[in-house]
Amino acid sequence: MAAEAQFELTMERLGRSLQVSHLSSSPLRTAFLSDKVSTVRAWASAAAINYVPVRRNGRIVGVLENVIGDLLGTDAGPRRASEEDLVHTAMRSLSSDMLIEGGQPLGGLVDELLKAPHYRLVVDGGQLESIVTPSDLCKLPMRVLVFSQVARLEATITDAIRRMYVTEEDAVSALGQGAQAQILGQLKEMHSKSLDPSLIELASLRQKAAILASRGVFAGDEHEVDADFKDLYERLRNPLMHAASFVDDSLDALIRLSRQLEFIQRRTAEASAGGR
């Protein structure tokens, strides 16, 4: 099997093996119908919980939403309940659009959470005992999935560069003088440590993308492509690498992540086609 096809198969299997239930939060901390919103908000704020499931006779019957106001954006859903409201008047009653199967592949979760309400109660074995929200996307299973997609993009770009240029020196010469000097400086430092990486391995993802953009591989203006890769590098790849947060419960952060994932898929396809 060709290396590219094998990588595709590995990615497909990884996507199927990582499931929503691997990401969801449990056990649930719940409220009761007769509770005051102020009481729930007090303990939910301390625990940074923005969505509180509501029980009646041991069963989940609804969710008190956006309790601490983390969900920001034009589609933030219903108003935040006032302090004196009772939970049973302020909650969203349980309905099918609030549910997701725990066995569903993780790959489609971001798009699912973009649809209101921007959380899902997870059905696992016929029970509702966990919840998944946008902030759960920072957990390890999603980090593994997203980082594998970023790594695939970078590997595809690197392979395309090596196919399109006779030497890696020719490829790096497509960059500005400052970028060239920085890469050559890194190479010198590596040699001083008795290490011998290839020149293109020392280029950042953004720099590698700029090399392909100079050849017209990526659709769009070079400056726009560079800005998109800068955003990807600084706001997704680096947080993934350094175990930092790359999404929270705000709608804007969720939309940005969805766009970044779509960008990764599109640019990977372009780099793959351009390198043939």
Amino acid type, 141: P
Angle at CA 259, nearest 5°, toward 254 and 262? 130
CATH assignment at residue 90:
3.10.580.10
Same domain? For 146 and 263 the reply is yes
Backbone angles phi, psi at 203, to 5 degrees: -75, 145
Residue range 259-269: mean pLDDT, rounded: 95
Instruction: Look at residue 176 and tell me if it is in a domain.
Output: yes
Reported as a pLDDT band with limits 50, 70 and 90, residue 76 is: very low
Same domain? For 192 and 172 the reply is yes
How many C-beta atoms surround the C-beta of residue 50 within 10 A?
A: 22
Count up the domains in the chain and report the number. Answer: 2
Work out the burial of residue 13: count CB atoms within 10 Å of its CB; fewer than 13 is exposed, 13-18 middle, 19 or more buried. Answer: exposed
Biggest alpha carbon–alpha carbon distance for the chain: 73
pLDDT, tens digit (0-9, with 9 covering 90-100), for 43-53: 999 999 999 99
Which domain covers residue 254, as residue numbers? 140-274
pLDDT at 3: 61
Kindly give the residue spans of alpha helices, DSSP state H, lying in the chain: 3-17, 37-46, 87-90, 109-113, 140-164, 168-172, 177-192, 205-213, 222-232, 238-241, 251-274
End-to-end alpha carbon distance in the chain: 17
Distance in angstroms (rounded) separating the CA atoms of residues 137 and 118: 12
Instruction: Look at residue 165 and tell me if it is in a domain.
Output: yes
Same domain? For 168 and 236 the reply is yes
Closest CA to 145 of 46, 19, 31: 19
Residues linked to residue 60 through DSSP beta bridges, in sequence order: 55
DSSP 6-66: HHHHHHHHHHHHSBGGGT-B-SPP-EETTSBHHHHHHHHHHTT---EEEEETTEEEEEE-S
Closest CA to 258 of 77, 73, 12: 73
Final residue in a domain of this structure, among 82, 112, 133: 133
Distance in angstroms (rounded) separating the CA atoms of residues 19 and 236: 21
pLDDT, tens digit (0-9, with 9 covering 90-100), for 87-128: 999 999 999 999 999 999 998 999 999 999 999 999 998 899
Final residue in a domain of this structure, among 118, 133, 148: 133
**What is the residue-averaged pLDDT of the chain?**
90
Distance in angstroms (rounded) separating the CA atoms of residues 40 and 52: 8
Contacts of 16 (CB under 8 A, 6+ apart): 105
Same domain? For 153 and 220 the reply is yes
Same domain? For 253 and 205 the reply is yes
pLDDT at 35: 96
Reported as a pLDDT band with limits 50, 70 and 90, residue 153 is: very high
Closest CA to 44 of 72, 67, 69: 67
pLDDT at 74: 44
